[in-house]
Structure formats: C-alpha cells, structure tokens
C-alpha cells in the first residue's frame, strides 16, 4: 500500500510561511507530479513528505497512520534526488545494495534484490563498474535502483532529470513511466518541466506561492484551467490572454470584433491557446494584426502577431510551415469551443 494524505500541512521558517495549508489525498499506486515556478514550495513539500523537513502545522498520514513526527527511516519512503549521490569508490552493485547492507540484510537477499532491480533498469552489464564509468542516465538509473531494492511504500523524485541533456531526459522519462507501470508503486515527482509533468502524471498538482492552484489530470488542467495562473502556466507557448467585454449573449474585444458568448457575464478576460487560433486574410477573424516574428520548428511554426491597442502581441501555433510571412497583415480567428473566460479575480467563469 502507498496512500498518502496531507491534512492542512503548513511550513514556517520563523515568520515566513512557505507552505500554506495543503490538503491533498494521493491514492495507492498513483503517479502525482508537483509543478510550479521557482520558489512555489514544490521541493519543500516533497521533503516534508519524506521527513527531511519538519511539518510546522497539520498532519501527514501514510496508509492511514500518522507519521507527522516520524523520522525518514520510519516512513517507508525512498527519495531520488537531482544529484545522484553515489559512492564513487563503490561498484554499481555495491551502491545499489548499500542500504540493505547497513540494515543488516543477508548477502543472499541483497544479491537477489540487486539483481532483480538491475534487470528492471537494464543495468546488468554495468554492475561491476564504478560511477565514473557511467553516463548521466546510467548513474540516475543506479540511484533509482538503490531505491527499488528497499521495496519502499512510495518513491519521491526531486527533479531527477535536471542534470541530463535533452536526449537523455526523453529516454529517462520513458524509463520512469515504464518503471511505474511495472512496479505499480505510488510516485510523487517534482519538476519544473511541463513535458515531464504532462507525460508522466496521473494527476498534476500546480503550486503557486505555497498553495495549490489546481489539482487534476493533465487533460483537465490543459482543457479546463480553473484560474489564470494555471491557464498560463500549463502549456507552451502559454495561453494568450485578452481583455474582453461581455453583454447578453455576445462578447467584444476593444477595438476589434467579437462573437457569440454563452458564459458568465462577469467575464473580463478571454484566454485562447496558440493552436486554437487560425490565420486567414485580414478582416476574416476577430482580430487583425501584422506578423512580427516567424519561428519554424519543423513540425510546427510559431507566429507572433502584433495586433496593437489593448491586445498587443498574440502567439499562434501552426502545423508545419507558416501560412504567413514576416510583415504580412493577417486576420486571426478564435475557435469558439476552445475559448476560456475569466473574471477580474482571474477565476474561470
């Protein structure tokens, strides 16, 4: 079992409160990712779960048992850090089995568990090598293997791929996803990388200044963000936000055209993602503008269109080659089923 329940958890450093009353239920076998900007408290919250930071107020339950005051060794959790923290003088085999050895486990048991973890992580050819003879991705797999042999209740990952290059990050992301499928263990994962969060998570917890801004599946957060912060944090390029006026069953963009509206009349801001804007001839859409920048990325092209006035620049994502050229005047049409409306407090309406 590996259910984890945080109840009104707070963290104070003197007069400074960095975690502000977190309530969160993580079910057994779930893959939960904490995301948010630097300083939002995601790593601090993870360390509080692991016992590396004290909980100032509130409680932490693991499998229904209050472990708030328990040291890390009694929580049954395994933590994988950004730094690999391997012993350079030990072989891979010894690094992976060191925790069991210090706990007094029999040699036969250690060998069996190390070999099983090495098989899962494809580390068999490297068991007699030392860390200096391994790539970054292999070292991170050894660090994960060291956690697996302990058979923990849950795994805690603190930005484990940050030290890897882009290609290795993709490879390790795949391996962690497959590992979760094989082990069926609870995993809590901290990252600032949206791609990692969207591809790995069963649920994402978006943190803002020590509070939960929204919890949901990747699809829920992307398609129905509950506030402006989540709307602009999830998705790359980020969602375009425009001031809007609503009246009756229609909305209007100051200085531009509007369209049908079926939301709350308290809406003051409209959000539209770059891929939900269609580029056409000037005068054909809700907004006209001049193409200020074209970025060709192969599978996609990004346009930055200067619309002037209160709207300013809008980002558009196109499949393949750009339909417009630098300096061209274009019309932008918003897909009505993909428009998001928010009130003056930044909350979805």
Q: Which CATH superfamily is domain 4-230 in?
A: P-loop containing nucleotide triphosphate hydrolases (3.40.50.300)
Calculate mean pLDDT across residues 120-125: 88
Nearest to 162 by CA among 136, 188, 144, 181: 136
pLDDT, tens digit, 9 for 90 and up, residues 208-260: 999 999 999 999 999 999 999 999 999 989 999 999 988 888 888 877 788 87
**3 state DSSP class of 288:** strand
- pLDDT higher than threshold 80 for residue 262: no
- Which residues fall within 8 angstroms of residue 152, CB to CB, at 6 or more apart? 76, 77, 78, 185
Calculate mean pLDDT across residues 50-65: 96
The answer, as to whether pTM is greater than 0.85, is yes
Q: Which CATH class is domain 237-342?
A: mainly beta
First to last CA, the chain: 39
pLDDT, tens digit, 9 for 90 and up, residues 268-319: 999 999 999 999 999 999 999 999 999 999 999 999 999 988 899 999 999 9
Give the start-to-end residue ranges of the domains of the chain. Answer: 4-230, 237-342
- Output the six-digit token pair for 42: 């995601």
**How far, in whole angstroms, is CA 206 from its chain's centroid?**
7
Burial class (CB in 10 A: 0-12, 13-18, 19+), 211: middle
CA angle 91, 96, 99 (to 5 degrees): 120
């Amino acid at each position: 079992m590996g259910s984890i329940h945080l109840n009104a958890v707070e963290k104070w450093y003197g007069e400074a409160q960095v975690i502000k009353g977190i309530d969160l239920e993580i079910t057994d076998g779930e893959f939960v990712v904490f995301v948010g900007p630097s300083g939002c408290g995601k790593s601090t919250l993870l360390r509080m779960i692991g016992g590396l930071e004290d909980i100032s107020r509130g409680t932490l339950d693991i499998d229904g048992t209050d472990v708030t005051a328990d040291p890390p060794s009694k929580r049954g959790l395994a933590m994988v850090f950004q730094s690999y923290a391997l012993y350079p003088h030990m072989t891979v085999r010894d690094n992976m089995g060191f925790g069991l050895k210090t706990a007094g486990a029999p040699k036969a048991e250690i060998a069996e568990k190390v070999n099983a973890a090495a098989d899962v992580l494809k580390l068999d050819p490297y068991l007699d090598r030392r860390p200096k003879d391994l790539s970054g991705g292999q070292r991170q797999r050894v660090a994960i293997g060291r956690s697996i042999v302990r058979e923990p209740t849950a795994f805690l990952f603190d930005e484990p791929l940050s030290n890897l290059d882009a290609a290795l990050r993709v490879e390790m992301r795949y391996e962690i996803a497959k590992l979760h499928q094989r082990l069926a263990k609870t995993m809590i994962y901290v990252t600032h990388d949206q791609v990692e969060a969207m591809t790995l998570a069963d649920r994402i917890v978006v943190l803002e200044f020590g509070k939960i801004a929204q919890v949901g599946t990747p699809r829920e957060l992307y398609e129905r963000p509950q506030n402006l912060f989540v709307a602009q944090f999830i998705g790359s390029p980020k969602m375009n936000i425009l001031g809007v006026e609503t009246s009756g069953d229609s909305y209007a963009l100051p200085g531009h055209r509007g369209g049908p509206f079926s939301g709350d009349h308290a809406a003051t801001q409209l959000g539209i993602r770059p891929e939900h804007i269609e580029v056409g001839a000037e005068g054909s859409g809700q907004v006209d503008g001049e193409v200020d920048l074209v970025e060709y990325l192969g599978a996609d092209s990004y346009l930055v269109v200067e619309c002037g006035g209160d709207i300013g620049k809008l980002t558009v994502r196109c499949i393949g080659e750009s339909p417009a050229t630098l300096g061209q005047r274009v019309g932008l049409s918003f897909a009505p089923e993909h428009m998001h409306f928010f009130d003056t407090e930044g909350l979805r309406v």
